[in-house]
A and B are shown apart, each in its own frame.
Chain A
């Protein structure tokens, strides 16, 4: 833009017929050096203002993206793990109980691993919630709402860490009584399961829902358009001012190119391209992280929790079905939630799996149906008085195998998409690295370029 050739000598005379703004009339009356001084000041102020705006924009997106990676993602991962570990503990404890006094070593280890995992995650989440007060300070985030949410999460975590020992205590008593062959063990197991389902799981579910929402809102903040549009418009405006200034200078000073202004324009161009491309790349990564990562993880996790609950129901029905079918009713309720079918949890899993193209989970429908069938056969055996055969099916037979397949698929789905999320969110965050500093440096270069270019012209008037 600075290459336009100016040939008209002397000050531009105002066209009388056009109504001109007051400042143009003032300028018309001023001498060229004073106009130059004014222009210099204007350009420096505009350059620095651009720097501030661009750095602010970059910082907004960078810190939102960093929040996604450093706080929201680990918290939602913790919440998901607490939720699924506790559900798995419920199902595993019931299944191990069903095996009798000599529970299988792997079931015992799995239960222990679930409890350990839940305890570690509860602790980690508590630490994160405590230290993440900062995220409530993010601009554009209603601080009251945010702190209310994190208080609720803190309360839920307190419930979890307070009740988890009570739960394991009851499971331990159930196990000890069961080992002695006492029916009292079943009562303790039922109580433990009731505590888990009535108190622990609702808290875990609440945390998961809140953290998922928080993740979505942090991600939306990092990928939001308004601020970047303002920045781009401002930069284009500044470019236009620089262009007009160069043309004016070349007309008044008989020099084709002002290298100072050229430098400033180039710096502005580079900073704009950097800002926009960083944003486009970062936004793409973060959206990908959400669509191929956290959203499928949520679908898989919800399905797994329902499947685990139904599996616990299957065992609990066999542990004490004194004609009571409330656990079986709950199994059927979970089966209805799971699907497959329109609007079910497994339908969401299948949608997520086919979108991802070839990930695990496309055949969950068939796997779930196989389990339901095996379960129905198991119930028929039990109802016909063949309790031992039903227990065998639940422990190592058709029901156990088919549930195992479904559960494995769902766990793999969670892991796969969690990995996608972690990688994409990190690369999204990294695309904002150094951006804010770069914007400030660029604006300083622009201001320096303008100062240098115009002061050389000014010097000619001394």
Chain B
């Protein structure tokens, strides 16, 4: 998915007001609707770049730098700096089940994205000591700024590689291929988003999933978090949720009375984001990902979080 927006609003109340509204006006209406709430500090400025494929000026799946052999921490490199520091700083998601989420059972951040970062840290430090990664939970809006200004070394955050983002940061090769689909209750008769014409479908505020919902003439209900969408679905306030299947899988895993339906509406290739100042780190990470693909680790991580049978990892393609 492309962007998750600002949480903290009384979106349940705001819902009534803004169901038909769209865009930024929505945030303002919600803020005005409930003065008792923590204010929305930032407005969703989603990079809604992955619109029509025709508008693409590049190939997001083949945009990364080719690794030069197996991962190696060369002297003077960014990896050497990280090793000297003693830990890798990763910007991650904390609320997307199975990809990056805070496990209430042990207060640890876990998931598919997290295991990708751990593999990178293991390659840098030569051991898988848990202290070698500092996880910083960040929002969608923080992803590009944080990795650009060095607050975090790497972002693993169900982040779709897009041509617009490629202008701002570098991405690793594609480590997961997601696609936008639809989640409904098992009692639903809908077969795809087209069957939900005129009905309420939930997505996070500012995400590009909202555009797809509107294109299919459903009413987009926008909330801060994906789990908020599941609350609405359980409470009968929306009839469906539409976003990346990776996220929908995580939601379906929390409610066995839901199912994913319909065709893949978009392609969402995920990449690890790295500052443009550290091309050697991009090559290093791609080398790590290449190892994961070939030695079976990628499949075992997939099985661990997303169930078996594991799919094949997306093939590595590079720009030149």
Residues of A within 8 A of B (CB): 100-101, 177-178, 181-188, 190-191, 194-195, 197-199, 201-202, 313, 320-327, 329-330, 333, 383-388, 391
Alpha-carbon gap, A382 to B40, bound state (A): 21
Alpha-carbon gap, A186 to B297, bound state (A): 31
Contact call B95/A320, Cβ cutoff below 8 A: yes
Contact call A391/B38, Cβ cutoff below 8 A: no
Expressed in whole angstroms, the minimum distance between the Cβ of B258 and any Cβ of chain A is 11
New contact pairs (9) apart from A100-B104, A320-B95, CB-CB < 8 Å: A100-B107, A194-B12, A194-B37, A197-B37, A198-B34, A320-B7, A321-B94, A326-B8, A330-B38
B120-128, B134-142, B187-195, B301-309: which one contacts chain A? Answer: B134-142
Nearest-neighbor residue (CB-CB) of B100 within chain A: A322
Contact call A322/B37, Cβ cutoff below 8 A: no
Known: A198-B34, A326-B7, A329-B41. A184 touches B137 (CB 8 A): no
Asked if B10 is at the interface (CB within 8 A of a chain A CB), the reply is: yes
Contact call A191/B12, Cβ cutoff below 8 A: yes
Alpha-carbon gap, A88 to B101, bound state (A): 28
Expressed in whole angstroms, the minimum distance between the Cβ of A252 and any Cβ of chain B is 79
- Which residues on A sit within 8 Å (CB–CB) of B8? 324, 326-327, 330
Given A186, A325, A388, which contacts B41 in the complex, CB threshold below 8 Å?
A325
Expressed in whole angstroms, the minimum distance between the Cβ of B82 and any Cβ of chain A is 14
Alpha-carbon gap, A125 to B8, bound state (A): 32
Expressed in whole angstroms, the minimum distance between the Cβ of B127 and any Cβ of chain A is 18
Contact call B97/A182, Cβ cutoff below 8 A: yes
Contact call A184/B254, Cβ cutoff below 8 A: yes
Contact call A187/B228, Cβ cutoff below 8 A: yes
Contact call A183/B10, Cβ cutoff below 8 A: no
Contact call B6/A326, Cβ cutoff below 8 A: yes
Task: Name B97-151 residues within 8 Å CB distance of A.
Answer: 97, 101-105, 107-109, 133-142
Nearest-neighbor residue (CB-CB) of B152 within chain A: A385
Residues of B within 8 A of A (CB): 4, 6-13, 34-41, 89, 91, 93-97, 101-105, 107-109, 133-142, 224-225, 227-228, 230-231, 251, 254-255
- Which residues on A sit within 8 Å (CB–CB) of B95? 183, 186, 320, 322
Contact call B13/A199, Cβ cutoff below 8 A: yes
Expressed in whole angstroms, the minimum distance between the Cβ of B244 and any Cβ of chain A is 16
Alpha-carbon gap, A326 to B230, bound state (A): 21
Expressed in whole angstroms, the minimum distance between the Cβ of A175 and any Cβ of chain B is 11
Alpha-carbon gap, A387 to B139, bound state (A): 16
- Which residues on A sit within 8 Å (CB–CB) of B9? 194, 326
Known: A322-B94, A322-B139. A188 touches B231 (CB 8 A): yes
- Which residues on B sit within 8 Å (CB–CB) of A384? 134
Alpha-carbon gap, A397 to B123, bound state (A): 35
Alpha-carbon gap, A327 to B103, bound state (A): 20
Alpha-carbon gap, A162 to B11, bound state (A): 20
Contact call B10/A198, Cβ cutoff below 8 A: yes
Known: A100-B107, A177-B254, A186-B95. A324 touches B139 (CB 8 A): yes
Contact call A184/B107, Cβ cutoff below 8 A: no
Alpha-carbon gap, A388 to B107, bound state (A): 6
Contact call A329/B12, Cβ cutoff below 8 A: no
25 A-B pairs within 8 Å (CB atoms) are namely: A183-B104, A184-B97, A184-B230, A184-B251, A184-B255, A186-B104, A186-B227, A194-B9, A194-B13, A198-B34, A199-B36, A202-B35, A321-B94, A322-B137, A322-B138, A323-B91, A323-B138, A324-B6, A325-B41, A329-B38, A329-B39, A330-B38, A333-B38, A383-B136, A388-B107
Contact call B225/A327, Cβ cutoff below 8 A: no
Given B13, B35, B94, B107, which contacts A391 in the complex, CB threshold below 8 Å?
B107
Alpha-carbon gap, A181 to B34, bound state (A): 30
- Which residues on A sit within 8 Å (CB–CB) of B38? 313, 326-327, 329-330, 333
Expressed in whole angstroms, the minimum distance between the Cβ of A419 and any Cβ of chain B is 31
Expressed in whole angstroms, the minimum distance between the Cβ of B13 and any Cβ of chain A is 6
Contact call B102/A183, Cβ cutoff below 8 A: yes
Alpha-carbon gap, A185 to B231, bound state (A): 9
Contact call B104/A181, Cβ cutoff below 8 A: yes
- Which residues on A sit within 8 Å (CB–CB) of B134? 384-386
Known: A324-B6, A327-B8. A191 touches B231 (CB 8 A): yes
Expressed in whole angstroms, the minimum distance between the Cβ of B249 and any Cβ of chain A is 13
Known: A183-B254, A184-B230. A100 touches B94 (CB 8 A): no
Given A188, A198, A324, which contacts B13 in the complex, CB threshold below 8 Å?
A198
Most buried by A among B4, B93, B141, B228: B228
- Which residues on B sit within 8 Å (CB–CB) of A197? 10, 34, 36-37
Contact call B104/A323, Cβ cutoff below 8 A: no
- Which residues on A sit within 8 Å (CB–CB) of B4? 322
Known: A100-B105, A320-B102, A391-B107. A187 touches B36 (CB 8 A): no
Contact call B104/A185, Cβ cutoff below 8 A: yes
Expressed in whole angstroms, the minimum distance between the Cβ of B194 and any Cβ of chain A is 28
